[in-house]
Amino acid sequence: MFTHKNTLLFALILSVFSAFGQTDKEYFQDMVDAEREAHASLMNYRFNELTTDYDIKYHRFDWEVDPAVYYIKGSVETIFEAKENNFATLHFDLSTGMQVDSVIYYGQSLTFSQTNPDLLVINLSETLNAGDQRTIKVYYQGQPSGSGFGSFAQGTHANYPMIWTLSEPYGAKDWWPAKQDLNDKIDSIDVYVKTPMPNRVASNGLLVDSVQTGNSMIYHWKHRYPIPAYLIAIAVTNYSVYDFYVETDDEPILVSNYTYPEDLEWAQLMLEWFPPIMQLYNEKFIKYPFADEKYGHAKFGWGGGMEHTTMTFMGGWSPYLQAHELAHQWFGDMVTCGSWEDIWLNEGFATYLEGMTQEHGLGENTWMNWKQQRIDQVTAQPGGSVRVDDTTSVNRIFDGRLSYSKGALLLHMLRWKLGDEDFFQALRNYLTDPGNAYGYAKTPELIAHMEAQSGQDLTEFFADWYYGQGYPDYQIDWSQNSENVLKVEIYQTPSHESVEFFEMPVPIQFSGQGNTVTLTFDNMINGQSFYVPMDFEIESAQFDPERWLCATSSMTVGTPEILLRENTLSLFPNPAKNEVEIEIKNNALQMQLIQVFDHSGKMVLSKDGGNLVKTDLDISNLPAGNYAVKVTTKKGIGVLRLTRI
């Protein structure tokens, strides 16, 4: 659904944005820094093994929040299922700074205790067996302690108060009794928030009701997709609400935007960018995965963005940020990375999809600039892998050069290697795999779908680009003889010792006499030579003109590799259909090897020369076209052009 009109609109918006905002490069670094800061305190979290013996099926939240007062009061009703027999004690993650008033279990008040580190221990009045489901309700209140980056935060805009939450991934316990891990998604939730008028509440799912009670309003949000605890969120202030719909092939998708009143006009202008981005993602992948509910934006007081399921919290209205955070609804919310080692499945994907919006909406020059910026960033240092090798370091996990940019370029190169059809179909298969959809996935699951769809063995590719470090520095030597046969030699020097050689298809563009052609060479060994019959005399060459490879390069024009004297070697007839006679007119020279190369430089035929001076070569199985015939003798080589008709 991307049209010429969209392209012009994007250009206008981006010109306005650039005049008053950031460049792509500045925005990207600020976004990465903000996300890294947001996760800095996560490293202090230790997984709570006491919460592994049950599954959460449902939460109902009833909260009272006044943005002018840093406080939360309410209850959390939970339906849970025991995973083990003899289940008699229920554990929730909850900060000891929150005061639990009571725990109700089918009309009974249960005994409980709050212990360090941040644990609520509830003694059930019965012993459950595996598979038993029960409902429990916790009443509590307090001033959330916060985890250092605003899991429950208070701020102002235009001197008006607001409160928002940002729990990724282990801050939920600061403000409600939760089970926070990366293994158990909650099947469904209902969120009820009571707040003084004229405040409004933004949250997950659909707003199904808003009821006035005295001078307050109670807002009811309903979400019926699996969701991890860290993506449950609320934001409360005097929002202005601006809704629109994104057209699709069937039912349109509601986009509900909660903006500051003083920010409404700017938000409306910048959100003109949004519908074609969602349409692009719908077309390339699958329809927005929470389409039965809505997508939304809520302005909040943090410098970046946070992809809460169906309601992204936005620090600004940058089109780059819109694209990045929307991408997370597919790659991060629908399918969530199963470990910190695999964070690129969230951030590398979101970065690449952000780039794709420029590919499809802003014109080739901007797309080229985006790719070159990512390449320059990655190749600025010799080492570093996409795989996170130190999951104790938040700086390493949220490394903009590796988890974001190199992760995005890995996808770009995979797309180049597989082709668009297989690449995007494999991603659709990955998203809809029952083992991944609305759950968790790791890199091996992605690899399996890429291999199954393409039929290619990607072991070496991921060994080099995911597990390995660095990138290749290519040295390209090329020459052309009097027969217009092009010779290309490709050498590479890996920037890091962890990779011996990067096996990649290498594109090179050749121009001359008003002609331009891009050839792709399947570079499998260092110093590999390719011979290509050309229809014109080459004047210049350019490495990777479309920026498919994460690499550096240099080009050298060499001396034509014709070591046999003129007229020493002949082909007859030429053009030929079924057979050609090859003759060396010097009896002192004897043929050792005959090789035929097609228009891509790929060797398609080889024959032992038998130390002969004359031999016949069967070309009947070759498609019609131009070829380069290389004859190796004891004293040199000769290369001639052959046309098969």
**105-117 pLDDT, tens digit each:** 999 999 999 998 8
Whether the bond into 573 is cis, omega within 30 of 0: yes
Mean pLDDT of 407-419: 99
Cα–Cα distance for residue pair 547/543, rounded to 1 Å? 9
Nearest of 340, 334, 335, 309 to residue 47 by alpha carbon: 340
Q: What is the pLDDT of residue 394?
A: 80
Confidence at 2, pLDDT banded by 50, 70, 90: very low
Q: How many residues in total does the chain contain?
A: 645
Mean pLDDT of the chain: 91
Which structure tokens are listed for 510?
């050749």
Out of 109-123, 387-401, 504-518, pick the least confident: 387-401
Give the angle subtended at the CA of 485 by the CAs of 482 and 486, to the nearest 5°.
115
Neighbours of 332 (CB within 10 A): 21
Mean pLDDT of 377-406: 94
Please list the residue range(s) of the chain that carry CATH number 2.60.40.1220.
569-644
Strand order across the 99-105 sheet: 108-109, 99-105, 133-142, 72-82, 54-64, 188-196, 216-223, 206-213
Q: What is the pLDDT of residue 148?
A: 42
**Model confidence pLDDT, tens digit, residues 444-481:** 999 999 999 999 999 999 999 999 999 999 999 999 98
Query: For residue 397, how far is the Cα from the chain centroid?
Result: 15
Residue 542 makes CB contacts below 8 A (sequence gap 6+) with 508, 509, 511, 555
Q: What is the pLDDT of residue 38?
A: 62
**Model confidence pLDDT, tens digit, residues 277-331:** 999 999 999 999 999 999 999 999 987 889 999 999 999 999 989 999 999 999 9
Confidence at 181, pLDDT banded by 50, 70, 90: confident
Confidence at 367, pLDDT banded by 50, 70, 90: very high
For β-strands 234-237 and 240-246, DSSP reports them as unpaired
Q: What is the pLDDT of residue 17?
A: 46
Q: Which residues of 197-208 are buried (b: 16+ CB within 10 A; e: fewer)?
A: eebbbbbbbbbe
CATH H-level superfamily of 472-557: Aminopeptidase N, middle-beta domain (2.60.40.1840)
Cα–Cα distance for residue pair 506/587, rounded to 1 Å? 40
β-partners of residue 299 are 314
Phi, psi angle pair for 408, to nearest 5°: -65, -40
Is the pLDDT confidence value at 637 over 90?
A: no
Is the pLDDT confidence value at 45 over 70?
A: no
Q: What is the pLDDT of residue 31?
A: 77
Cα–Cα distance for residue pair 343/144, rounded to 1 Å? 28
- Distance set, CA 426 to CA 83, 95, 431 (Å): 34, 42, 9
Cα–Cα distance for residue pair 314/331, rounded to 1 Å? 18
Please list the residue range(s) of the chain that carry CATH number 2.60.40.1840.
472-557
For the chain, percent of residues with pLDDT exceeding 70: 91
Cα–Cα distance for residue pair 57/189, rounded to 1 Å? 9
Mean pLDDT of 352-359: 95
Residue 148 DSSP SS3: coil
Calculate Rg over the CA atoms of the chain. 31
For the chain, percent of residues with pLDDT exceeding 90: 78
DSSP labels for 276-290?
Answer: HHHHHHHHHS-S-TT
Mean pLDDT of 393-406: 92
Q: In the chain, what are the helix, strand and coil shares in percent, each to the nearest 5?
A: 25, 40, 35
Q: What is the 3-state secondary structure (H, E, C) of 35-77?
A: HHHHCHHHHHCCCCHHHCCEEEEEEEEEEECCCCCCCEEEEEE
Considering the segment(s) 569-644 as one domain, its CATH architecture is: Sandwich (2.60)
Give the angle subtended at the CA of 621 by the CAs of 615 and 624, to the nearest 5°.
100
Q: What is the pLDDT of residue 550?
A: 99
pTM, 2 dp: 0.88
Neighbours of 578 (CB within 10 A): 11
β-partners of residue 440 are 336
Q: What is the pLDDT of residue 4?
A: 42
Is the pLDDT confidence value at 565 over 70?
A: no
Q: In the Cβ-directed half-sphere of 321, how many Cα atoms lie within 13 Å?
A: 31
Is the pLDDT confidence value at 175 over 70?
A: yes
Is the pLDDT confidence value at 3 over 50?
A: no
DSSP 539: -
The answer to whether 179 and 93 are in contact (CB under 8 A) is: yes
Which structure tokens are listed for 149?
């980056």
Nearest of 624, 519, 514 to residue 575 by alpha carbon: 624
- Distance set, CA 397 to CA 128, 132, 404 (Å): 40, 38, 10
Phi, psi angle pair for 617, to nearest 5°: -125, 120
Is the pLDDT confidence value at 402 over 70?
A: yes
Q: What is the pLDDT of residue 149?
A: 52
The answer to whether 103 and 135 are in contact (CB under 8 A) is: no
For β-strands 485-494 and 108-109, DSSP reports them as unpaired
Confidence at 171, pLDDT banded by 50, 70, 90: confident
Torsion of CA 397, 398, 404, 405, to 10 degrees: -90
Q: What is the pLDDT of residue 182?
A: 72
Q: What is the pLDDT of residue 304?
A: 83
**Model confidence pLDDT, tens digit, residues 518-548:** 999 999 999 999 999 999 999 999 999 999 9
User: Which parts of 224-353 are beta strand (E)?
Assistant: 234-237, 240-246, 253-259, 295-299, 305-306, 312-314, 335-337
β-partners of residue 109 are 104
Give the angle subtended at the CA of 52 by the CAs of 50 and 55, to the nearest 5°.
125
The answer to whether 63 and 234 are in contact (CB under 8 A) is: yes
Give the angle subtended at the CA of 565 by the CAs of 563 and 568, to the nearest 5°.
115
Q: Can you tell me which residue has the tokens 């570093």?
A: 384
Q: What is the 3-state secondary structure (H, E, C) of 119-186?
A: EEEEEEEEEECCCCEEEEEEEEEECCCCCCCCCEEEEEECCEEEEEECCCCCCHHHCCCECCCCCCCE
Strand order across the 614-618 sheet: 569-572, 579-584, 614-618
β-partners of residue 201 are 236
Cα–Cα distance for residue pair 192/209, rounded to 1 Å? 9
Is the pLDDT confidence value at 333 over 50?
A: yes
574 or 22: which carries more pLDDT confidence? 574
Confidence at 247, pLDDT banded by 50, 70, 90: very high
302 or 249: which carries more pLDDT confidence? 249
Is the pLDDT confidence value at 177 over 50?
A: yes
Residue 20 makes CB contacts below 8 A (sequence gap 6+) with none
Q: What is the pLDDT of residue 21?
A: 45
Cα–Cα distance for residue pair 84/52, rounded to 1 Å? 10
